[in-house]
């Protein structure tokens, strides 16, 4: 569930965005970014859901083998490298400069979401299938595995909302520009799934990789590569949190496990707010 403060922030953004402020160019820029951001976000997620459901056995890539192996490897590597690099200090400054004019900094989160969505769309739409299928679920097993796959995506959706839907979707940037306010990032997430583990988004993403109903060499390579990313990349995120939140994050880190929830909760666990 959204906290009261987060709900109030979203309501403020929406009300201000729907009001008729001056500055047609700024409004057009914000709306254009909003449409582009969310269209690419939807396309990237849809491409990922569908492609992995078929174990990457169905895609649009047509690179001849064995060059296809290099092309597919490049598609895998490009996402985590850019995704993490743009979250660093230099990466953030680059995002602010990508949009000429005075609004680059305000639109940085939307720009980041556009780039990440384009990367996902390229990865899953341009993958060249190997043509090898090891296993395909059938009958009751198919429905059971498909249910697990769907549940994994629902967990990822819940974790994204707990972390701040406006940031995860890229809406914070363009809505802030519409509202003529400085983007205000959500506070350190500690509620919802973040009460159980510190990295629910990455864990849920890893679950989607391993609950598919079709297994191919392609899917196995993707699952191993991105699972390693999901385990290692959050270490960089936690360094940023430690620098930003100091003792608050240290207390939270001591109380909440990294990726695997505890079977029993400590009676006096501190609620890091």
The rounded Cα 182 to chain-centroid distance in angstroms is 23
Say which DSSP state 195 is in: G
- Report the pLDDT value the prediction gives residue 268, as an integer from 0 to 100: 45
The tens digit of pLDDT for each residue in 76-128 reads 999 988 888 888 888 888 888 888 888 888 888 899 999 999 999 999 999 99
Which residues, including other chains, have CB under 8 Å from residue 42's CB and lie 6 or more apart?
none
Task: Give residue 76's pLDDT.
Answer: 95
Q: What is the pTM of this model?
A: 0.82
Res 22: pLDDT: 45
Pairing of strands 214-215, 135-136: antiparallel
Q: What is the pLDDT of residue 33?
A: 87
Residue ranges of the chain whose pLDDT lies below 50: 20-22, 267-273
pLDDT of 91 reads 84
- Position 216 scores a pLDDT of 97
Q: Which of 242, 244, 229 is nearest to 84 (CA)?
A: 229
65 secondary structure, DSSP code:
T
Specify the 3-state DSSP secondary structure of 251. Answer: helix
């Amino acid at each position: 569930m959204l906290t009261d403060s987060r709900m109030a922030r979203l309501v403020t953004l929406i009300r201000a965005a729907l009001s008729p402020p001056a500055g047609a160019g700024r409004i057009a820029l914000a709306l254009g970014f909003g449409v582009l951001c969310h269209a690419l976000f939807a396309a990237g997620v849809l491409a990922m859901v569908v492609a992995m459901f078929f174990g990457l056995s169905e895609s649009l890539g047509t690179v001849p083998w064995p060059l296809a192996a290099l092309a597919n490897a490049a598609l895998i590597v490009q996402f985590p490298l850019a995704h993490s690099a743009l979250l660093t200090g230099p990466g953030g400054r680059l995002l602010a400069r990508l949009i000429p004019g005075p609004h680059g900094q305000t639109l940085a989160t939307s720009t980041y979401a556009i780039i990440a969505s384009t990367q996902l769309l390229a990865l899953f739409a341009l993958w060249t299938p190997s043509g090898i299928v090891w296993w395909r679920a059938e009958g009751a097993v198919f429905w059971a595995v498909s249910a697990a796959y769907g549940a994994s995506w629902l967990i990822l959706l819940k974790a994204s909302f707990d972390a701040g839907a406006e940031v995860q979707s890229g809406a914070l940037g363009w809505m802030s520009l519409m509202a003529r306010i400085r983007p205000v990032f959500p506070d350190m997430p500690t509620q919802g799934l973040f009460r159980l583990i510190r990295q629910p988004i990455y864990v849920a993403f890893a679950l989607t990789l391993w609950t598919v109903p079709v297994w191919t060499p392609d899917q196995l390579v993707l699952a191993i590569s991105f699972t390693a990313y999901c385990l290692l990349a959050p270490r960089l995120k936690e360094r940023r949190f430690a620098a930003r939140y100091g003792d608050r994050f240290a207390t939270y880190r001591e109380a909440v496990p990294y990726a695997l929830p505890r079977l029993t909760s400590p009676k006096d666990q501190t609620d890091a707010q």
